[in-house]
Structure 1
């Protein structure tokens, strides 16, 4: 029996959730000091990657059966906020590689998880759910081909998860395409050197990945569509691990990832603004009446930003807990956790991200040109990072709001207005993946 089949030991069986959050927070000085280098190299350093491994951060959402700590999503969100507070790009890259242990635990059978978590339990996977490639079934396994963009966290990933169009043995059947999820080990894919020239999140490692004729076993191909998980009766991961966290829909989870990062960036900006306030308080007073000459001019934006960020942080934790609550309800009765419920979680978390962005805008504008706009200033970096994040469709909160409203009207307010068998309220054909803004830079 392999070590994985027998169950992998946790490196630190007595590790607590409070301690793992503390460890993430303790890394902040190192993360702050390396921000510029992270941007220059396009990812966090090998040394920081090893620190994350040593601290157990990659194992937060990983099942206990495979050497993980199986902490819940609220713990993961707290850790991501702490890391992003130290370095936004590092927070993005770390989050969007380490989080997908949850997806691996949810989507794959024991045979697949034995392979994925391997002999030592280390697992980190960038993920891109958009089906930009194919998996073709053969007698020997599945042959994967394609190129996926925005695979965040790929430089330090041991695997990559992709949405694919499935072509079963004998060729594609007549009718709608079949979509699934495949996970490919690092040695079978190539990371392209194309994450350059973007306004922000330059160190997030959101490179493209190309896969050419990679043969993977059937155990690493899930017939589940990444964006439309069938939770009826509980996923295979739920039945393997007995934890409802591994039987959730995806948009609420994906949005928890992204929003945790952005709230962390907001607190990074607030930290930097506090240093500006301190310098103002300790330095000579400016000419009387000159705009922006003293501490008093900065108090209003600081207080507003602090309140926005406190609300956003609370919303992230509450949203993550709501996701867990729906997962638990869904394993008892799938109707208790419908697609529209997942959309509401996503919409709420998008509003938390919006508040973080508003806080950064306030601080960046109030600090003044010399303090915030010059190259090398951290506030400029945070403003660039949040500007980059806003281009992610996962933060298109107005579009999500319209889709949520349409879905609510069609399902709960005026259900008779939709003709049976007709198009969905969002205009998509019946049977298409659920509406929602799928994060791009993953």
Structure 2
């Protein structure tokens, strides 16, 4: 049962009290043509422009899953992901940068204690890239806080970030091995490096590196001996006790996999739209010469691609609902096994979306459709880069299925 919202007059009010999820979806749909027209500009800059950032802010996108207590809308994560899927049809780079920055208000509200959340969410809007791989070290400061030092790569969403979430290694005591620290740091504690834009795809995703030079954060901004990929929520979370919505008791690893699947499907939907434009405007290369949309083979290929990408969307939406449904049950229901199962579903959805583009759309669109700066050329580059993400290409095909099977059959050891 959903608890009444906790309110505090010391935090910012909700900007639009009557805003609905349907309003957010409509606003995202209205933005697609402009995002599509500005893809080249975004790639050149390596992140979306200040005016687009303001457009997202005015639309309420950065507050979708921020708790109501802090002036957010506290809408379901599904609403956020539906907005992401729509934006990805227009500009994959923009959607990637937005999603991997704004999504982690959910994780922050899940895991950090009330004292930390009261400080972290005080600004209302919240953008915090999260990097899973440790990029540096953490040591204790004289006042009991943490000193963060090192460089973290692939910080998607960092250009407009209000915070950064990372993992650092803490030296063990008395010969013990080092252990992770999950930390969150406010803007101003890091330096963004100018090292993004030379990749194959997602050139405008704002995935720059950040460098910390002995930056100090308070103790309550760090969770010692904690890694996002290993968090258990079966005993409840700080967020489930603090906030009204049960989603703040969900498992963070599968929530982040939902982000990747949603982006993959949205990008593939953009490819399908571009493929439809090709079929409607270009002719076959062999007799009988006709528009491709009237050719039986192209009709079959378009239908096949539609079926694959639509199936990927259906799988993703089902996984999102399964994730939400688990959060409404007792905390012990969201086990490691369930967390991994949903994560693996996400991988299959993203793989199916990729195959619809790579195996059907791309080969049959023809070389003239993938010339420089064309929509299909860009969307293929972007989706290829998305498909090669280490989480989906490596971890979700190796370690996670093994751990899932061990958990399912009771063979998992500490």
Q: Decide: shared fold, TM above 0.5.
A: yes
CA separation of 1:88 and 1:412: change in aligned 2, threshold 3 A: closer
The CA distance in 2 between the partners of 1:405 and 1:114, in whole Å, is 37
The CA distance in 2 between the partners of 1:198 and 1:401, in whole Å, is 23
The CA distance in 2 between the partners of 1:368 and 1:292, in whole Å, is 14
Residue 192 of structure 1 aligns with which residue? Answer: 193
The CA distance in 1 between the partners of 2:317 and 2:24, in whole Å, is 16
Residue 72 of structure 1 aligns with which residue? Answer: 76
| TM-score for the superposition, normalised by structure 2 | 0.91
Alignment check: 8 A CA contact 1:5 1:114 kept: no
Residue 267 of structure 1 aligns with which residue? Answer: 269
CA separation of 1:181 and 1:407: change in aligned 2, threshold 3 A: closer
In the TM superposition, 1:379-390 aligns within 5 A as 379-390=376-387
* Structure 1, unpaired ranges of 5+: 419-423, 425-429, 432-442
The CA distance in 1 between the partners of 2:314 and 2:375, in whole Å, is 25
Residue 183 of structure 2 aligns with which residue? Answer: 182
Residue 316 of structure 2 aligns with which residue? Answer: 316
Which of 355, 372, 377 aligns to 1:375? It is 372
Residue 434 of structure 1 aligns with which residue? Answer: none
CA separation of 1:287 and 1:323: change in aligned 2, threshold 3 A: closer
The CA distance in 2 between the partners of 1:293 and 1:162, in whole Å, is 49
Matched, 1:165 2:169: yes
The CA distance in 1 between the partners of 2:361 and 2:52, in whole Å, is 29
- Alpha-carbon deviation of 1:212? 0.8
The CA distance in 2 between the partners of 1:87 and 1:409, in whole Å, is 37
CA separation of 1:44 and 1:352: change in aligned 2, threshold 3 A: same
- Alpha-carbon deviation of 1:232? 3.5
Matched, 1:360 2:357: yes
CA separation of 1:5 and 1:184: change in aligned 2, threshold 3 A: farther
Alignment check: 8 A CA contact 1:191 1:207 kept: yes
Residue 233 of structure 1 aligns with which residue? Answer: 235
In the TM superposition, 1:80-99 aligns within 5 A as 80-99=84-103
Alignment check: 8 A CA contact 1:149 1:207 kept: yes
In the TM superposition, 1:387-398 aligns within 5 A as 387-396=384-393
In the TM superposition, 1:129-144 aligns within 5 A as 129-140=132-143, 141-144=145-148
Tell me the SS of whatever aligns to 2:52: helix
- Alpha-carbon deviation of 1:327? 2.6
Alignment check: 8 A CA contact 1:4 1:114 kept: no
- Alpha-carbon deviation of 1:131? 1.9
Tell me the SS of whatever aligns to 1:299: helix
- Alpha-carbon deviation of 1:333? 4.1
Bigger Cα displacement from structure 2, 304-313 vs 227-236: 227-236
CA separation of 1:406 and 1:144: change in aligned 2, threshold 3 A: closer
* Structure 2, unpaired ranges of 5+: 1-6
Residue 287 of structure 2 aligns with which residue? Answer: 288
CA separation of 1:299 and 1:252: change in aligned 2, threshold 3 A: same
Tell me the SS of whatever aligns to 2:71: coil
1:291-325 CA deviation, whole Å, 9 max, x = no partner?
A: 99663142112111111121111211111111122
The CA distance in 1 between the partners of 2:228 and 2:408, in whole Å, is 26
Tell me the SS of whatever aligns to 2:388: coil
CA separation of 1:173 and 1:89: change in aligned 2, threshold 3 A: farther
The CA distance in 2 between the partners of 1:234 and 1:300, in whole Å, is 50
The CA distance in 2 between the partners of 1:240 and 1:78, in whole Å, is 26
Alignment check: 8 A CA contact 1:193 1:207 kept: yes
Alignment check: 8 A CA contact 1:38 1:45 kept: yes
Residue 281 of structure 2 aligns with which residue? Answer: 279
CA separation of 1:154 and 1:173: change in aligned 2, threshold 3 A: farther
| TM-score for the superposition, normalised by structure 1 | 0.86
Alignment check: 8 A CA contact 2:159 2:206 kept: yes
- Alpha-carbon deviation of 1:409? 4.7
1:204-254 CA deviation, whole Å, 9 max, x = no partner?
A: 011111001111112211233222113242111111113321122222111
- Alpha-carbon deviation of 1:277? 2.1
Residue 421 of structure 1 aligns with which residue? Answer: none
CA separation of 1:407 and 1:214: change in aligned 2, threshold 3 A: closer
The CA distance in 2 between the partners of 1:408 and 1:194, in whole Å, is 36
The CA distance in 1 between the partners of 2:89 and 2:173, in whole Å, is 47
CA separation of 1:183 and 1:403: change in aligned 2, threshold 3 A: closer
- Alignment root-mean-square deviation, CA: 2.2
In the TM superposition, 1:240-255 aligns within 5 A as 240-255=242-257
Which 4+ runs in 1 deviate beyond 4 A?
A: 289-294, 401-405
CA separation of 1:177 and 1:317: change in aligned 2, threshold 3 A: same
In the TM superposition, 1:7-156 aligns within 5 A as 7-118=11-122, 120-140=123-143, 141-156=145-160
Alignment check: 8 A CA contact 1:97 1:124 kept: yes
CA separation of 1:333 and 1:54: change in aligned 2, threshold 3 A: closer
Residue 3 of structure 2 aligns with which residue? Answer: none
